[in-house]
């Protein structure tokens, strides 16, 4: 009954959050062992985070054995859950994903457009390797993937690794539900939202409170200026026509698609002033790690909440808890479609409400997508599948097609220079793309 | 918050069961008014059952106002739930459904084959009328349909009436779960079964206890002779090859399809000895109503459990309770497919696990049917849709096609005489089929 | 056996082409009666074109009775084919469709983007009326629709009129095949192209000559600068990466989607220099009609070929000929999907190769769309279906959604001003949109 | 341009037919080399047939080099077409397929029910081997499969071999079209039939003559006693209700499904009188081979037409001719579904009208199956896919499931004894089923 959790990318600044989450759930979710794993480049951060986590556990008097290591294979032995929160190439790579597209006149964002595409290219091979290792060493473990672009990465792992117990999680639906509860001044437990779509492209079709439809109240409130954008996205607000015609809740990332020009302008201005978001985050991280070093600190510091990924660990801990306890509650996860959304292929990963059981998530059927969003969601999924194909094949043609069919790029004559600069910049992390492919 | 339940076919011998169920749930499901409705031919039974129900309520000290009436429209005013348990033509018509096919060399059964087809022909127009009345008088009410063939009838009502809040319920999945719990010696709350298919043609793909798969244990037990057939079906047992090849739980009605010859032989023998099942039930009913008249009786009599439809009311009460309270638990219902099972049309009614909410059931996605049962389930659904088409069109060609595509009939040269005898026998209840159509 | 053809919009400058086509096919396609129909505003043009057509027929010694009239109902009596080539609002309306979007920073084009949307809004109600009249007066006649946006209009008529014998035709596939034949220096009869997609958004997946795949030769030639853009579209050429990654033939209209920025720039420049394309065409038309008045002219004048719609009438005449003669040859038409392309709804109109028979086109199965174009084609079809919905419902919300989901618009905050200006400008031709909707 | 045809099973009594067909088409289909291939057991027949074929070629003065051999690999070198007409286990095995099921109370037929299943089990591994050899030795060759059950075998080869240029052909649609032409007293070239379904389970949805629908005339004629059953099936006629309700042309094999009892009775009587059909055929064959030995015989003998497979070779020769010449005509073939019939999987082989081109058949889209036949066709295809799965996996469970889901067997308790006897009888030809599996 004792549970072992292995955290890949354990040196991340987010780790205190998940540690806190696991400590808080000790009564019902009996985690007895946690191993933080990282790579050589992250050794120092891992050490800092490990010590802080140790102090947190001790202060909470929790019965958890903690360790940290660079030896992933050893760490995986006997794991029940493996959670991933890695960033291949670190914040430096993210800065390139943000800067280079901007320079070519495109949105530069870490999970959307060309930036998201290259993050996928760097991340997918690493996570496929991990998943194969999990399948070999701890085949009964669930791999809980937070690594962005979470939907694409989860699908790639399910398609191209031998491990099938893989679930992707994102904090966006989690946060939207919390924000909606605040807007409606209702305890969050009484709020249900029907989520439809793809990671970072999900819509809320219905909001219910105790089973009563309150969607229009939420839309009215959004229109009146309420917002639920996370720290890393500056919301521009939505027009009344948009909200009333759509009749569904957009998510903060939709601004990239429905306000492209304005977002590009805003991002160019922000870049001129502060550099990329990655650079801002680098400073935040540096300050956080200074905090973490403080041997008197034994709780998650407040500053972490401003970091942008709030509630990530809550989403993760809830999921692991429900799986372990076969709770049968409904959570929003990234999982295989298998007919849940008629318009998408069986092997596509979607973001969807699912009943969470010990044997995995069972998505609630959606059927045909509502007409207004059918095209764009299919379009985005096509891009995602082309991206996965390119990440695995390593051919220029596939990479080109992925750009061509991404609504934020799509400009056939501007793709070559964009791709070439990105390939060159990220060369060290893209072994699957031979250099002659793009030079 | 006070709930009003209207029971159509309130003079049924089953009524004490649902009354007991509603009394037992008073703490959480606040039913404050119950109206039993029946037609002129059932006036006497309605009176007897009404008085018994009144005594039950009084004895239980329940805060429920009960009444009984032949005025359906008046009864429906203000209803929250309308439940149906009618039998058009009564047990006499059932006896014909059982006897006539047997005479022609076919299975004679009240919900399968030619018998089930004619029960559908008699019932569908009546329930469409009721549903249109519900839509007019109490449009927010849920229509909970128990009337058999429950899947076909529910689909017909959803297709051809203006009321859309309609759910079909059957006790078979409910009973299977109970029997499986007994077999596994586990509290039923810990047992989950994934049901796939159509009413009376449903399979249990997986059995879990606390999320752990126990399907093979249940199959082994069935093979060793355990059975979960209801009182109205004599089980013949399943061969080891059948159970191990299929790897899923059959339901008791599957004997008609996979043991046709043996069941026909058994039924012919039973008929020679005791007449039809309808005639046996007529005697049971007569005795029950004698019991019901006893003014000292103020509880559901034990004999009712032998009647065959055990747990029907539990299934119904659980469903109404969960809808009213937006419970979000999982129950097995008959509801629109809308893509839940890929292989069936959107407007087909399927029997499926669903999350039960105030705004209706949300089926858990199934995707593609498992190959072994794909053909037969599609075949049965085709029959069902032809049956509905015929029930509404009133043409001989559609009735013929429904027989031709029913696996229990299908014999092109023997359909004409079979149909003609059935049409003639049921003439009084089939106004939609003009007499010249079949004579 | 004698055939009667009615041409709606008979006063169009294109009419001499179709007259020539019908004359040329007299030997095999026995058209014996042609009626040109137009509306009051087109009376003068109709007269001019009618007289020219009469001279053409006389010169050719063809056994065809010609007449022209404003009485559409009378003209339809006994028709075998009704062909449509109308322009609701005339070139003036087109000029607005081209100018207004440009002003708001969007592509302004008569069949794509906001311009195409409003052309659809103006045209759909008129063609639904016509189709209903055809269904009433000459129900066996085929309605052959050339009116743009041909795919959207054809789908709207099939969905919302009572006439089902409707086929849409476009000259783009016809011209592409001719151009490919030239590129490959082969007689066009030996060239086959597999067309996949939607009107003005069709791709050529394969090119065969005598059954041998020559796709890559054609792509190489396109890359080397060969082009097959019609007179009304200035081609910008395609990059090598685009052609080799896609591996399919684009059509000229694809520039709007894959070269949006460059096309917008080019169109703004052209507009600054010459005004809209509509204005250029107005001049061409004025000159043409001067020609047409010449009583010595008794053949189609050469200038017409420069007009932009070359081969339109060849496409139309071939289609009518094959239907009449049950030829069973393969032509590219706009017809109901009915499963031909898996990813699109049954009631969507697609542009596809079909076997042409007396009882209509029988599309050749395509199955799943190739991954690279799956998203965009689904997206475009979603836009088309929203456009039809708006054209019929007359609600602002539907019009807004159509814009929101059109890849050339999609900018949520810029849709309101764009829509309001377009609605106001076209008010006279949009009775279905109440004025209060947009003001 | 010279074409080489290799005939696998060249020692078959049918061979003179295909030789005649190839000779007759010399003008347009330039076959210059034919190799007849057989196995050791068929050496004598191969010799006899080879000599006859040689005399036929000489008499016709055809420019064809003929040879015959037991060396299949050598024969395949340079082949353009490989046609198969083998019978694994010979007529002796067929006799078992016919006799054993009868004994167990089931239809005994060489391509349907348990007999067809075991023919598939014997044939599939042999044809997969052949197809892999073709892929290796003559990868551009088309494999034209006549071997029954042709639909199942073709699908198995397409799924489980590395060769993809495989087409199945059956003479049933060919013969139905000929018979319909006779019934309608029209040249066959003017008759078109829309075929829908599976090999030996195909329906004719429409009959057109010159594009005019004549379906009802053909149905009326069938009802009046006209028949188009081949020599190997004794037709029992169809009832008026059957024909008018269905509204489509049945094929002769449908009697097994819609007249099961009567056919079983008829077949039992025929068996009592003459033994199995295989035994009758053995005698016919013996006489045929006596004829073939006659050195004065240099044409196809008339007696061959009575053999049952008339027009087989016409169907084959037409197909090869159209492929070679890229004719683009419409023929009925067994080919991959790929969305042609919505209700069946992409990788299912269907029997369908297709445009025949040099690069293969392009099926004409069907979309959703008509409701009346949707269930049975899906059911049959499910059986076929279970049969293929069993033929390849060699497990008892799969074989059992195939029987369970075959409408002619389906009796769960009678499958074990049936299977055991059939496995034992065919042991020598079923290496994929280990003996311990069924004993």
Q: What is the pLDDT of residues B29-84, one digit of tens each?
A: 999 999 999 999 999 999 999 999 999 999 999 999 999 999 999 999 999 999 99
Using a CB-CB distance cutoff of 8 angstroms, which residues of chain D are in contact with residue B374? Answer: 378, 382
Distances (CA, A) of D144 to C40, C271, D172: 63, 60, 16
Residues of B in contact with A365 (CB under 8 A): 338-340, 362-366
Checking C429-434 for CB contacts under 8 A at 24+ apart, the result is C429/C88, C429/C89, C429/C93, C429/C122, C430/C121, C430/C122, C431/C125, C432/C121, C432/C125, C432/C391, C432/C392, C432/C393, C432/C394, C433/C121, C433/C394, C433/C396, C433/C399, C434/C394
How distant is the alpha carbon of residue A29 from its chain centre?
Answer: 23
Please name the residues between 333 and 362 in chain D that touch chain C, using a CB distance below 8 Å: 338-342, 346, 355, 357-359, 362
State yes or no: chains A and D have 3 or more CB pairs below 8 A.
no
CB A51 within 8 A of CB A67: no
Contact D303, D291 (CB under 8 A): yes
Is B104 at the interface with chain D, CB within 8 A? no
Which residue ranges of B are tagged as binding site? Answer: 94, 148, 170, 200
Residue owning tokens 């409707």: C166
Which chain B residues touch A329 with a CB distance below 8 Å?
328
Contacts of A225 (CB under 8 A, 6+ apart): A237
Chains that touch B (3 or more CB pairs under 8 A): A, D
Q: Closest to B355 (Cβ–Cβ): which among A212, A330, A339?
A: A330
Half-sphere exposure of B299 toward its Cβ, with a 13 Å CA cutoff? 6
* Helix C113-137 with C90-103: angle, nearest 10 deg: 150
Question: Binding-site residues of B for Mn(2+), please?
Answer: 170, 200
Residue D67 in contact with partner chain C when CB distance is under 8 A: no
Q: What percent of chain B has pLDDT over 70?
A: 97
Q: Does A380 touch chain C (CB under 8 A)?
A: yes
- Say what the pLDDT of residue D1 is: 75
Q: State whether residue C326 sits within 8 Å of chain D by CB.
A: yes
pLDDT at D304: 81
Average pLDDT, chain C: 95
Q: How many Cβ pairs within 8 Å bridge chains A and B?
A: 83
First to last CA, chain B: 54
CA distances in angstroms from B88 to B97, B168, C33, D49, listed in the order given = 12, 17, 62, 70
Give the whole-angstrom CA distance, residue B192 versus residue A116.
40
**How many CB atoms within 10 Å of residue A110?**
23
Q: How close does chain C come to A206, measured CA to CA in Å?
A: 18
Query: What pLDDT does residue A314 have?
Result: 86
* Three-state SS at B200: coil
D99 labeled part of a ligand binding site? no
Task: Please pick, among B253, B311, B396, B429, the residue that the annotation labels catalytic.
Answer: B253
d(CA C390, CA C3): 37
Residue in D339, D357, D358 nearest the CB of C342: D339
Closest residue in chain D to residue B371, using alpha carbons only: D382
SS (HEC) of chain C: CCEEEEEECCCCCCHHHHHHHHHHCCCCCCEEEEEEECCHHHHHHHHHHHHHHHHHHHHCCCCCEEEEECCHHHHHCCCCEEEECCCCCHHHHHHHHHHHHHHCCCCCCCCCHHHHHHHHHHHHHHHHHHHHHHHHHCCCCEEEECCCCHHHHHHHHHHHCCCCCEEECCHHHHHHHHHHHHHCCCCHHHEEEEEEEECCEEEEEEEEECCEECHHHHHHHHHCCCCCCCCCCCCCCCCHHHHHHHCCECCHHHHHHHCHHHHHHHHHHHHHHHCCHHHHHHHHHHHHHHHHHCCCCCCCCHHHHHHCCCCHHHHHHHHHHHHHHCCCCEEEEEEECCCCECCCCCCCEEEEEEEEECCEEEEECCECCCHHHHHHHHHHHHHHHHHHHHHHHCCHHHHHHHHHCCCCCCCCCCHHHHHHHHHHHCHHHCCCCCHHHHC
C140 touches chain D (CB under 8 A): no
D200 assigned to a ligand binding site: yes
State the pLDDT at residue A231: 61
**Mapping DSSP to helix (H, G, I), strand (E, B) and coil, where does residue D364 land?**
strand
Token digits of residue A247: 């009749």
CA distance C80 to chain D (A): 15
Nearest Cα of chain B lies from the Cα of D402 at a distance, in angstroms, of: 8
The pLDDT score that the predictor gives to residue C309 is 61
Task: Check CB contact under 8 Å for C326 and D368.
Answer: no
Model confidence band, residue C438 (pLDDT cutoffs 50, 70, 90): confident
Query: Does residue B253 carry a catalytic annotation?
Result: yes
For D82, list phi and psi in degrees, rounded to 5: -120, 120
> D376 and B376 in contact by Cβ < 8 A?
no
Structure tokens at D370: 């008509």
Mean pLDDT of C339-348: 97
Residue D232: strand pairing partners:
none
Classify A334 as helix, strand or coil. Answer: strand
Take residue C31 and report the two structure tokens written for it.
Answer: 């058209």
* Distance of alpha carbon A32 from alpha carbon A6, whole angstroms: 11
Classify D30 as helix, strand or coil: coil
Q: Radius of gyration over alpha carbons of chain C, in Å? A: 21
pLDDT at B308: 61
In terms of CA atoms, which chain D residue is nearest residue C362?
D364
From the candidates D253, D312, D429, D438, which is the catalytic residue? D253
Residue A249 DSSP class: B
What's the confidence (pLDDT) of residue D334? 98
Token pair of C326 as six digits: 């049950």
Contact D363, D77 (CB under 8 A): no
Report the predicted TM-score, pTM, of the whole model to 2 decimal places.
Answer: 0.96
Is C246 near chain A, with CB under 8 Å? yes
Interface test with A, best of C106, C386, C412 (most A CBs within 10 A): C412
Question: Do D358 and C328 count as a contact with CB atoms less than 8 A apart?
Answer: no
D138 is in an annotated binding site: no
Asked if B400's CB is within 8 angstroms of D245's CB, the reply is yes
ipTM value of the model? 0.95
> Which alpha helices (DSSP H) does B10-112 contain, by range?
15-24, 43-59, 72-76, 90-103
- The nearest alpha carbon in chain D to B404 belongs to D258
Q: Tokens 């032809």, residue?
A: B386
Using CB atoms, list chains with 3+ pairs below 8 Å to chain A: B, C
Q: Give pLDDT tens digits for C163-217.
A: 999 999 999 999 999 999 999 999 999 999 999 999 999 999 999 999 999 999 9
Dist CA A118 CA A96 (whole Å) = 10
Residue B424 host element (H or E): helix B415-425
CB contact under 8 A, D411 and B376: no
Kindly report, residue by residue over B136-151, the tens digit of the pLDDT: 999 999 999 999 999 9
Residue among C380, C382, C415 minimizing CB distance to A241: C415
Look at residue A260 and give its three-state secondary structure: helix
Structure-derived torsion over alpha carbons of residues C395, C397, C401, C402, reported in degrees to the nearest 10: 20
Among D211, D338, D350, D368, the strongest candidate for a mutation testing the C interface, having the largest count of C CBs within 10 A, is D211
Q: Which residue of C has its CA nearest to A239?
A: C413
* Tens digit of each residue's pLDDT (9 = 90 or more) over C239-284: 999 999 999 999 999 999 999 999 999 999 999 999 999 999 899 8
Quote the minimal CA–CA distance from C321 to chain D in Å: 13
Which three-class secondary structure string do you get for A359-388?
CEEEEECCECCCHHHHHHHHHHHHHHHHHH
Query: How would DSSP label each residue in B29-45?
Result: S-EEEEEEE--GGGHHH
Q: Could C364 and D368 be called an inter-chain contact, meaning their C-beta atoms sit closer than 8 Å?
A: no
Q: Find the catalytic residue in A228, A253, A256, A292.
A: A253
- Please report residues of A whose CB lies closer than 8 A to that of C401: 245-246, 372
Helices (H), D234-370: 240-246, 255-258, 260-274, 277-293, 312-325
Catalytic residue, candidates C253, C256, C311, C429: C253
Buried b (16+ CB within 10 A) or exposed e, D190-212: ebbbbbbbbbbbbbbbbbbbebe
**3-class SS of residue A94:** helix
* Mutation for B interface: D105, D243, D245, most B CBs within 10 A: D245
Residue B337, both tokens: 């497919």
**Which residue in the block uniquely carries the two structure tokens 């007994």?**
B182
**Are B262 and D407 inside 8 Å of each other by CB?**
no
Tell me if B337 sits within 8 A of B367, measured CB to CB: no
CA distance C30 to chain D (A): 16
Distance, CA of D93 to CA of D122 (rounded, Å): 9
> A36 and A335 in contact (C-beta within 8 Å)?
no
pLDDT of residue C308: 61
Taking 50 as the pLDDT cut, the residues of chain A under it are: none
- The verdict on whether omega for the bond into residue D255 sits within 30 degrees of 0, i.e. cis, is no
Distance between CA atoms of A340 and B367, rounded to whole angstroms?
A: 7
Q: Looking at residue B234, what is its pLDDT? A: 75
Supply angle C-alpha B183, B184, B189, rounded to 5.
110
pLDDT band at B225; cut points 50, 70, 90: confident
D170 carries a ligand binding annotation: yes
Nearest to D367 among C208, C210, C338 (CB): C338
Contact D299, D133 (CB under 8 A): no
CB contact under 8 A, B401 and D259: no
CB–CB contact A375 C405 (8 Å): yes
Q: Contact B239/D379, CB-based, under 8 Å?
A: no
Write out residues in chain D with pLDDT < 70, as ranges.
228-233, 306-310
Q: What's the Cα-to-Cα distance from A392 to each of A124, A153, A315, rounded to whole Å?
A: 8, 11, 29
B71 inside 8 A of chain D by CB: no
């Amino acid at each position: 009954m004792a549970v072992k959790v292995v955290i890949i990318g354990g040196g991340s600044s987010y780790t205190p959050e998940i540690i806190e989450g696991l400590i808080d759930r000790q009564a019902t979710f009996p985690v007895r062992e946690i191993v933080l794993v990282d790579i050589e480049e992250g050794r120092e951060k891992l050490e800092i985070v490990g010590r802080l986590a140790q102090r947190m556990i001790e202060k909470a008097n929790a019965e958890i054995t903690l360790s940290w290591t660079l030896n992933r294979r050893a760490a995986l032995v006997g794991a029940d859950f493996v959670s991933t929160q890695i960033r291949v190439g670190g914040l430096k790579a993210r800065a390139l994903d943000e800067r280079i597209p901007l320079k070519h006149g495109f949105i530069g964002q870490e999970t959307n457009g060309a930036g998201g595409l290259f993050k996928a290219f760097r991340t997918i091979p690493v996570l496929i390797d991990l998943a194969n290792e999990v399948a070999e060493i701890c085949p009964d473990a669930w791999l809980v993937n937070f690594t962005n672009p979470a939907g694409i990465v989860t699908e790639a792992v399910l398609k191209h690794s031998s491990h099938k117990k893989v679930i992707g999680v994102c904090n966006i639906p989690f946060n939207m539900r919390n924000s909606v509860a605040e807007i409606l001044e209702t305890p969050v437990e009484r709020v249900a939202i029907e989520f439809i779509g793809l990671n970072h492209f999900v819509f809320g079709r219905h909001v219910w409170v105790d089973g009563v439809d309150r969607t229009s109240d939420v839309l009215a409130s959004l229109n009146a200026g309420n917002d639920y954008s996370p720290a890393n996205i500056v919301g521009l607000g939505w027009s009344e026509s948009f909200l009333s015609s759509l009749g569904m809740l957009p998510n903060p990332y939709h601004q990239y698609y429905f306000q492209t020009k304005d977002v590009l302008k805003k991002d160019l201005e922000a870049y001129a002033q502060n550099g990329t978001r990655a650079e801002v985050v680098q400073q935040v991280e540096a300050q956080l790690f200074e905090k973490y070093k403080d041997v008197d600190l034994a709780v998650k510091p407040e500053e972490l909440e401003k970091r942008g990924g709030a509630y990530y660990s809550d989403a993760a801990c809830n999921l692991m808890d429900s799986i372990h306890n076969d709770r049968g509650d409904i959570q929003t996860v990234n999982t295989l479609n298998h007919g849940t959304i008629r318009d998408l292929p069986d092997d596509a990963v979607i973001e969807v409400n699912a009943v969470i059981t010990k044997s995995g998530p069972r998505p609630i059927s959606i059927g045909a997508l509502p007409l207004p969003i059918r095209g764009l969601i299919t379009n985005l999924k096509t891009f995602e599948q082309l991206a996965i194909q390119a990440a695995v094949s390593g051919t220029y043609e596939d990479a080109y097609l992925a750009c061509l069919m991404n609504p934020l790029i799509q400009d056939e004559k501007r793709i070559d220079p964009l791709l070439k600069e990105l390939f060159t910049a990220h060369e060290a992390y893209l072994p699957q793309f031979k250099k002659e492919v793009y030079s």
